[in-house]
Structure 1
Amino acid sequence: MYDGSIYLLVVFAASQEKPCTQPTVKKLLEQKRKRETPSCSQRSLAPPNYTLSAGEPSTNPGGSSVPSDMAVSSQLWTPAEDTLFSFPTSPPGPSYTCSYSLPVSPEYQHFQNFANTQPYQESLVTDSSVSLSWSLEPSHSSAPTFGSPLDSNKLLNARMFINGMDYSRTAEQDEDGDTILHIYSAKGVREYAYAAAERLRSMNKLDAKEHKGKTALLVAVAANQPEIVHDLLSLGADMNACDVNGQTALHLASQYGYSVVLQALLLSSNPANLEARNFEGMTPLHCAALSHCDAMKAGYAGGSSEVKDHLLCVQMLLSAGASLLSQEIKSNKTVLHLAVKEGNLDLVRFLLHHPQADKDFVNMKAHGNTALHMAAGLHTSPHQKEMMQLLLSRGSDPSLRNLENEQAAHLLQGGAEGEQLRLLLKRRSTLSRRRVFSSHDSF
């Protein structure tokens, strides 16, 4: 009787166990997102291991372990803090410097076309209340990057493994629409992903989409796998393919702040549409700007690697030719409007010192409101005054009115602080009128 009871308990416990199955791309990416959502102090640097299903290689050719769970820790490709932007949250004095470098491997030196390789200095025309200057200086970096060659022995074994698979199984998609290429791209198993991509390319299925519309390239981008992104593009993957939300590879890399993945995309010979719109009406530059705002609001320090990567994505897109003048469709906001609305002083400062940031750009309207209107409405922001000073120094016109016939001064808060800002706007408006009159007198 006693033995029989034990047997029944064992059988019952065994029946409650869930079968060990191979995680899908959806599950892998969800795990990755969850690990990156908590605050910096709560982030896990050691992603959990996943068991490979029967029939998949348990090790990379050559004896090294296969990277599990996509090898997706963002720290794997995060450049060291002192190799990217040195960008103070506020100027320490009458001038400040932003030094940066892009993580470029020797065989990809032509990426310097996207960076400012010559020192650039711009002095601002300001009134007595604002005196700022901006300089960009190249610096050398030993940060990790992509571009390492494939391991020939591992690739040979991977090709043998893929070629030994049943032809139909190579191209089949599971219930989530994932092919073996999606799985290998998500896991970061580079040589097997390359071999699978070669096979699927021969079958005209290199850009097959899973249930959320992601191609293997989009999965590799979302999994922060710059090497695989580079490989897929070299094999002819569609750079501008989009998922069910209209997100292209550039949108995803910009949204997640994956600067090295973005580098791989911009370096590709495949033409990229820098002004592509997702279904929210935003370009990759808009996504990068909002992502930087989110990183700042999440509590990261201004000099943290996360914030630097997001800001570097903005810089790289602009250097590649993205337009500052692009307006997102829903509200006509430019990246400057977005940065001001979020109270992001670092990004506002960065954008205003870009060569494209002329007076016309600064005075662009989003449903009638200029960036100065939006800054005037930031009543609780500690950066309101400095933001308004920066906008005025770059030619923002305080006399412009929105659709409600309001000037920026009408949107300011009450009290002593609001009165000081009104005097600032009034002084700027008076100086502008004097310049107009003096120019007329010269004629």
Structure 2
Amino acid sequence: MSHRPIPSLPLAAAALLGLAAPFAGFLASDARAAQSPVPPDRFLAAAREAADRAPPACAATARTGADGRVTESPLPAMIQGAAAGTTGGLGRRLYTVTRLDDAKASRSRPSPEGTLRWAVEAARQGGGWIAFAPGLTGTLHLEAGLHLPSDTTLDGGCGGITLTAAPRTTQLTLTDARNVIVSGLTFTKDAYDDKADKTGDAIALTDQFDQVAILHNAFHRCGDGCVDIVRKERFASGARATVAFNHFAQHNKVMLIGTLTCYKDAAAEGCADPLAHLGDVMEPRVLVTVAGNVFAGTSQRHPKVVSNAAVHLTNNLFALSPTAYSNGADSAVYGSATGTGGVLVAEGNIFVNPDRAGRIGAGPISVVRASTGGGHEADGVVAAGDNVTVGNIRVVENRPEIARAVPIQAGAVLRVSDKGPEALATCLLRIAGPQGATAAWPQACR
């Protein structure tokens, strides 16, 4: 099959935003990553200590009119990048969760009013803004997964609500859902064995979803993936999502983004030589922005990007650590990787490796697997610039000219070389997660 080239369309330029002078301790490097001389443990400890000294102020995130519809919230304005313009339940009815019990619903036994399941079911009639009653805090154990409808916001406010479930349960699923915001919640699972137990995700986006924003949540021990954005088949329609300002901790495989055609059938069209088909059958249809997140003690897939997907990875803080399996082995450890034609543009990130063993912060799948072997999988493409590495870790590009030609909508990017990595890491540790739900980006990190 002939190769239809991708039209050249550069990424949006990153404004300098009047930031502080460059960190004086940077070592000279190429455009892909500058090396910080600060030891990893000291770097992280200093950033955490500074973040703890100045916690962000957080207030109510939504206001309603006399008709019970939400008229104002700061959340939609925070959504930049691929899912910019998402409004969720803005202008829709407010549904207030007043209790933390749950039970599987049926025709003969609908969910009790005031439960989260009742609110989600009510939002199926035209969308809605789902919030939790002031003062309501604690853990809600879901007896079954929830399927969020279109035109909906699930608003956990400034934190205080934890959603947990059995390991196999995927807590939130968005199938063919559009215009959805999930914010201010903590996700975890009942205890499980990473090596032995079959587990579900915390949040799963699938099939023909579009304009979904996952903002200011916390994820800890969430089973399979914390956020998986996966299409089972190739679709002609586009799908856009933004995953921003979340705090991920103590988890193995964090995010998988793309279409599973090549996983299901390695002989499918384009899968054997995906880079020769990025302009036709492997054209990126799933566009995702991953920005301003903290990954603390996580192991791999931050994200892993596979076929038909393009990801803009920007201004994230990574502190990588292996997951200990029950058989005594450790998991793989890397930042972000691309396989089967996935596209990644990584800029302004901080990659920290506390271990002596060398790690990859971002690169194609063949580089990630070089030291450990593993199965065969065709590479994707990686373009990188203005990243900082701390410790024994590096960033590897692969066919960057292809990655830079893919039109990925960029939000406001802070140049880490201007801001200084310690200052940016401190700010991200302050605002990533529910406690920063009303923090404005990028003003909060100036």
**What's the TM-score, normalizing by structure 1?**
0.35
**Highest Rg: 1 or 2?**
1
Structure having the larger proportion of residues in helix: 1
With a CA cutoff of 8 Å and minimum separation of 6, indicate the structure with the bigger relative contact order.
Answer: 2
Structure having the larger proportion of residues in strand: 2
**What's the TM-score, normalizing by structure 2?**
0.35
